[in-house]
Amino acid sequence: MACKVRRIWIVGLLGALAACSSGSSTPSTSNAPNPSSTTVTLMLKGGGLYDQPVTLSRSIVNGGPTGVIRILRTDHTGQVVFSSLPSSGQLCVYSSMVVGGTLYKVSHCAQPFPANYALKYGPHVP
């Protein structure tokens, strides 16, 4: 009887550890479909950035986009609209700029990707 109780306790402990580690190391995903289009607003310090490239891709590897689907430049409001999105799978948006000789990058990946997303450069960008 004691051996059976010990096995149940160990199995429960292993299950709890697996649940904690998987949640922290991998992004949550859903099998829901991607929207047919997405509006991405590229922002710096609360305002939209004009005429900046935004890349739509399948993933971000080593800090850059891979599996590039399309690259668009932001309009006067800092927005790009990607249409005819793949109906399933992870999608990522990425942008980079050089300020004072320093490269700054910002990206976001999601599955499904939201219909509207604000891609924001952090406060560390001058």
Q: Is residue 98 part of a domain?
A: yes
DSSP-based helix, strand, coil % in the chain, nearest 5: 20, 45, 35
Establish if 42 belongs to a structural domain.
yes
pLDDT of res. 5: 42
Question: Residue 10: inside a domain, yes or no?
Answer: no
Provide block-wise average pLDDT over 10 residues at a time, the chain (126 residues). 45 35 39 95 96 98 97 98 96 96 96 97 90
pLDDT the model gives residue 1: 53
Q: 31 lies in a domain?
A: no
Number of domains in the chain: 1
CATH number of the domain that 106 lies in? 2.60.40.1120
What is the SS3 assignment for 102? strand
Query: Structural domain of residue 79, as residue ranges?
Result: 37-121
